[in-house]
Chain A
Amino acid sequence: MRLRTFKKGIHPPGNKERTASLPIEVLPLPQQVVLPLGQHLGAPSEPVVSVGAQVLTGQKIAEAKGMVSVPLHASISGRVVAIEPRPHACGQLTPAIVIENDGNERISSELVSNHNLDELSAEQIKDLIKQAGLVGMGGAAFPTHVKYSPPPGKQIEYVILNGAECEPYLTCDHRLMVERSSDLILGLLAFMKAAKAQKGFIGVEVNKPDAIANLKQAAAGLPIEVLPLQVKYPQGEEKMLIYAATGRVVPVGALPIETGVVVNNVATAAALGEYLRTGLPLVSRIITVTGQGIPNPKNVEVRLGTLIEDVINYCGGFKEPPGRIILGGPMTGPAQYRLDIPVMKGTSGILVQTRAEVEKPDHAPCIRCGRCVDVCPYNLLPNYLGDYAEHDKLGEAEKYGILDCRECGSCTYICPSRRPLIQLIKNAKSKIMASRKKG
C-alpha cells in the first residue's frame, strides 16, 4: 500500500532512537514555576491573583483576554511571589506569574472531574476547551477553542489529530500515543462532538508502529481512523497533513476550516481528555529532552513554568559545554541563550547540540541548484524569495507568494550554499505586514 503523504518535503535524519522507547517520567515538582501570561498566540491572559496570594494546583490565575486568548492555571500549589517581566523563549522579558512551591501539592477543590461526554452539549464542550486553557501543543500554541468557532455557514466534517511528529529528535507525542491513548481518544471524541464532525483521523508517521497499533486498538468501533503516514518533513504541517489525510487542498490564504477540517495536536487532545476525566486543566505537558549534549535523554512530564535548567539537570546536566540550546525541534525551534526560561504550553522539547554539531554560519551565494524549489511543500521558489528579501524587493517577493511561506525550513535545510533563506523570508514578511498595517 502506498502511504499517505504530501508532495515534496525533506528527509532529515530522525534521531529519535535514543528516546523513542523510554517511558514518560514525571519530573519532581520544581521549587518555583514561572508562568508567562503570553504562552499562546493572541492576547496575553490577565492575572486574577495578586502577589502574596495562596494558589492551588489547577486554580485559575489569569483570565483570557478577548476572543483569541486562553486562561492560565497554577501548575503547582504555593504562593504567588511575583508578577513581573521574566525571560521568555522569544528572547525578551514578558510579564509572568511566579509561584513558589509550598511542597504540599494541594489540588484545587473546585475542579469538576468525570464529565460525561454524552451529557455535554457541543456548546458546553467548547466552553470546557477554553476553560481548560488549551492551546496547540505542537508548538504553534494557537488557542484551541477558536478553531471550534467556525464562521457562520461553515461545517466541520473532520477532526484530524496530528501525531506525525515529523520534527527530528522529538518523541514526546510518540510516547503519549503509546501511553495515554485513552485520554487521547476521549479528547478526540469531545473535539468531534464540539465540532459536530462525522469522523476523526489520527495521522501518525509509520516510524511509530507501536503508537499506530495502540491507537488502532483504542479506536476500534469508533468513527476514528488511524492513518499511517510516510516519514517525511513537514508531514505535520497543518495544510500538508490535511492533504495527506483527506486529499483536500486548503486554498492560499485560507484557514483549514474552508475545507471542513480542523487539526489539533495529539497532545492537545490528550490534555482535553485528561481534563474531562480528572478536572485538571492544562498544568503540565510531556517534553523530550535530548541531543548529543544531554547525557540521559528522556521523555518527561513537567509542570508548566518549570525552568529548562531544572529539566536539563534532571536529565544529567550538560555533557560538555553546549553549542546550542533549542526549545522544540531542530527544524523550527528557537535557539536560547539562557536557562531561566520556562517550559510553556507549546514547548515540545529541549534539544542540546554540542559545539561540534553547530556549523559555522558562513554562507555562499546561491548557485541556483534548484534544491530549495524541489523541496518546498508550498511550491514556492525559495531562492528567488530569499533574493528579493535580501534586496528589499518586497513587491516582487509578495507577487511570488512570500506570504504563503509557512517557515517550515525545508529550503534552508537543503541549501548546499547554506543560504539563510528562512531568516531572509521572515524579515521580509514582517516588513510587508508592518507596511500593510500602516497603509
Chain B
Amino acid sequence: MLETEVVVSAPPHIRQGLSTERIMWLVVISLIPAVLSGVIFFGWYVLAIIFSSVLSAILTEVIVLKMMKRPLTIKDGSAVVTGLLLALIIPPTVPLRIPMIGAAFAIALGKQIFGGLGYNPFNPALIGRAFLLASWPSLMTKWVWPVNSLAWAGKNADALTGATALGLLREGTTGIPYLQLFLGNISGSLGETSALALLLGALFLVVYKIIDWRIPVSYLGTVMIMALVMGQDPIFHLLTGGLMLGAFFMATDYVTTPVTPKGRLFFGIGCGLLTMLIRRYGGFPEGVCYSILLMNLATPLLDRWTVPKRFGEVKAVG
C-alpha cells in the first residue's frame, strides 16, 4: 500500500490550460481598445460610466449569491464582462445611476434568476440595455457627437446634434466619410462607434481562439447582402450603430448562442436579417440589441435542428 494519499480520479488526467476564468479575462482585455475609443471620442466621463456599471454588476452578483446561499463565483469574471459590455452600449451622456441600475438588472434578472452563468437564455448585457431603453427612453437616446467630429462635419455640426448616424440615414442625410465611421468619430453608444477599436479586440479573440468566426462573419455578411437588396449602402450599415460590437462581442456570447457549427451560421444569418429589418422598418433606427435577444431565444432550437451527423451515421437523428 501507499503511505501517502494519492488522487484517484477518472481520466483524462491532463487538461488544457484555458479555463473559463481566463476566457473571461481575455474578453475583458479585448475590450480595452473599445474603452479607449470611448474615452478619446467622448471624454473621461466614459470611465465613470464603465466603472459604475462594472462595480454594480459585481456587487449585485455578490448580494444575490449570498442571498441564495450559493458559492461566490466572482472570480470567473463573467460579472465584470457583463458590466463592461453593458457600459459600452449606452449613451456617453447618461447619469451614473443608469449604468448602475442597468448592470444590477442584467445580473439579477438577466443571469442569476436563471441559475447563474451557463443557464441564462439571454445575453445579460443586452437584457440590461433593453430594460434601460424601455424605462428611460429619453436618457437612453441622448446622443452627442464627439467634439473633434466638428472638424470634418464643419458648419453642419448643428444639424448633427441629437441623432446617430443611423438616425440620420433615416432622415436621408448622411454623407459621413467612411474613414470617420471606421475610426468611430461619430455619435453613438460609448464603446460601439469605433469599428477600428472593435476589430482590434475581435482579432485578438480570434487569434486566441476565444470566438468562432462563424457568427460574426455570417452576421456581417447577411447585413451587407440585405443592405444591397434594400438598395442601401452596405459599408455604411457595416460601420454604424452597434453592429460591430454586437457581431463580435454579443452574438458570440457562449452561453446564449448555439454550440454546433451550423447552428452558429444560422444564428448569425438570423441576427443579420432581423437587424436589417428593424433598421429599415422598425420603430428604432437600430436593431442589433433586439435581433440578438430574439435569436438567443432561438438558440435551443437551432442546436436541435443542427445536430451534426455522427461519425459513421447512416440515417439522421429522428
Stretch at the interface among B5-13, B160-168, B243-251, B278-286: B5-13
Residue contact B254 to A370, C-beta cutoff 8 Å: yes
Minimum Cβ distance to chain A for residue B244 (Å): 22
B117 within 8 A of A: yes
Known: A337-B6, A366-B118, A400-B317. A326 touches B13 (CB 8 A): yes
A52 within 8 A of B: no
Interface residues of B in 181-234 (CB under 8 A from A): 212
Q: A375-391: contact bitstring with B at CB < 8 Å (1 yes, 0 no)?
A: 00111110110000000
A334 within 8 A of B: yes
Q: B86-128: contact bitstring with A at CB < 8 Å (1 yes, 0 no)?
A: 0000000000000000000000000000011111000000000
Interface residues of A in 109-166 (CB under 8 A from B): none
Stretch at the interface among A184-192, A245-253, A266-274: A245-253
Residue contact A252 to B13, C-beta cutoff 8 Å: no
Residue contact B11 to A332, C-beta cutoff 8 Å: yes
Chain A residues, Cβ within 8 Å of B171: none
Those 6 A-B pairs whose CB atoms lie nearest each other, nearest first: A365-B118, A409-B12, A370-B259, A330-B13, A321-B4, A369-B254
Cα distance, A420 to B4, chains bound together (Å): 25
Known: A332-B11, A423-B10. A379 touches B309 (CB 8 A): yes
Chain B residues, Cβ within 8 Å of A241: none
Chain A residues, Cβ within 8 Å of B20: 364, 367, 369, 416-417
Minimum Cβ distance to chain B for residue A288 (Å): 15
Q: Is the interface of B mostly helix, strand, loop or mixed?
A: loop
Minimum Cβ distance to chain B for residue A15 (Å): 9
Contact of A364 among B22, B115, B117, B256 (CB under 8 A): B117
A413 within 8 A of B: yes
Known: A379-B311, A400-B317. A322 touches B6 (CB 8 A): yes
A260 within 8 A of B: no
CB<8 Å pairs between A and B, sample of 30? A10-B16, A239-B312, A251-B314, A254-B312, A321-B4, A323-B7, A325-B6, A330-B11, A335-B6, A335-B13, A339-B2, A340-B1, A364-B20, A364-B73, A364-B76, A367-B23, A368-B118, A368-B256, A370-B254, A373-B260, A373-B308, A381-B303, A399-B317, A401-B313, A413-B12, A416-B16, A416-B19, A418-B19, A422-B11, A423-B10
Chain A residues, Cβ within 8 Å of B118: 364-368, 417
Minimum Cβ distance to chain B for residue A420 (Å): 7
Interface residues of A in 395-435 (CB under 8 A from B): 399-401, 404, 409, 412-418, 420, 422-423, 426
Minimum Cβ distance to chain B for residue A272 (Å): 29
Q: A326-346: contact bitstring with B at CB < 8 Å (1 yes, 0 no)?
A: 100011111111111000000
Residue contact B10 to A426, C-beta cutoff 8 Å: yes
Known: A252-B313, A378-B310. A324 touches B7 (CB 8 A): yes
- Give A residues with C-beta under 8 Å from B: 10, 12-13, 91, 168, 239, 243, 249-252, 254, 321-326, 330-340, 351, 353, 358-359, 361, 364-370, 373-374, 377-381, 383-384, 399-401, 404, 409, 412-418, 420, 422-423, 426
B64 within 8 A of A: no
Cα distance, A321 to B13, chains bound together (Å): 17
Contact of B10 among A365, A374, A401, A420 (CB under 8 A): A420
Cα distance, A248 to B79, chains bound together (Å): 48
Cα distance, A296 to B260, chains bound together (Å): 45
Cα distance, A353 to B12, chains bound together (Å): 13
Contact of A336 among B8, B254, B258 (CB under 8 A): B8
B69 within 8 A of A: no
Minimum Cβ distance to chain B for residue A239 (Å): 7
Residue on B with the closest CB to A413? B12
Residue contact A359 to B76, C-beta cutoff 8 Å: no
Known: A168-B14, A413-B16, A416-B23. A404 touches B310 (CB 8 A): yes
Beyond A91-B8, A400-B317, A417-B19: 17 further Cβ-contacts under 8 Å? A251-B314, A252-B312, A252-B313, A324-B13, A330-B13, A335-B7, A339-B2, A361-B7, A369-B20, A370-B258, A379-B311, A399-B318, A401-B310, A413-B14, A415-B15, A422-B10, A426-B10
Minimum Cβ distance to chain A for residue B255 (Å): 5
Cα distance, A373 to B20, chains bound together (Å): 16
Interface centre among A91, A322, A401, A416 (most CB of B within 10 A): A416
Residue contact A335 to B11, C-beta cutoff 8 Å: yes
Cα distance, A251 to B116, chains bound together (Å): 40
Residue on B with the closest CB to A379? B308
Cα distance, A368 to B263, chains bound together (Å): 13
Cα distance, A358 to B308, chains bound together (Å): 34
Minimum Cβ distance to chain A for residue B212 (Å): 7
Cα distance, A415 to B15, chains bound together (Å): 8
Chain A residues, Cβ within 8 Å of B9: 324, 335, 361
Cα distance, A339 to B4, chains bound together (Å): 11
Interface residues of B in 16-69 (CB under 8 A from A): 16, 18-20, 22-23
Residue contact A12 to B16, C-beta cutoff 8 Å: yes
Residue on A with the closest CB to B308? A379
Chain A residues, Cβ within 8 Å of B1: 338-340
B307 within 8 A of A: yes
Cα distance, A202 to B77, chains bound together (Å): 48
Minimum Cβ distance to chain A for residue B310 (Å): 5
Cα distance, A102 to B317, chains bound together (Å): 61
Residue on B with the closest CB to A309? B2
Chain B residues, Cβ within 8 Å of A378: 310-312
Chain B residues, Cβ within 8 Å of A416: 16, 18-20, 22-23
Interface centre among A331, A368, A409 (most CB of B within 10 A): A368
Cα distance, A429 to B146, chains bound together (Å): 61
Chain A residues, Cβ within 8 Å of B76: 364
Cα distance, A73 to B105, chains bound together (Å): 71
Chain A residues, Cβ within 8 Å of B12: 330-332, 409, 412-413, 422
Cα distance, A243 to B311, chains bound together (Å): 10
Residue contact A239 to B259, C-beta cutoff 8 Å: no
Residue contact B6 to A365, C-beta cutoff 8 Å: no
Residue on B with the closest CB to A168? B14
Cα distance, A155 to B264, chains bound together (Å): 43
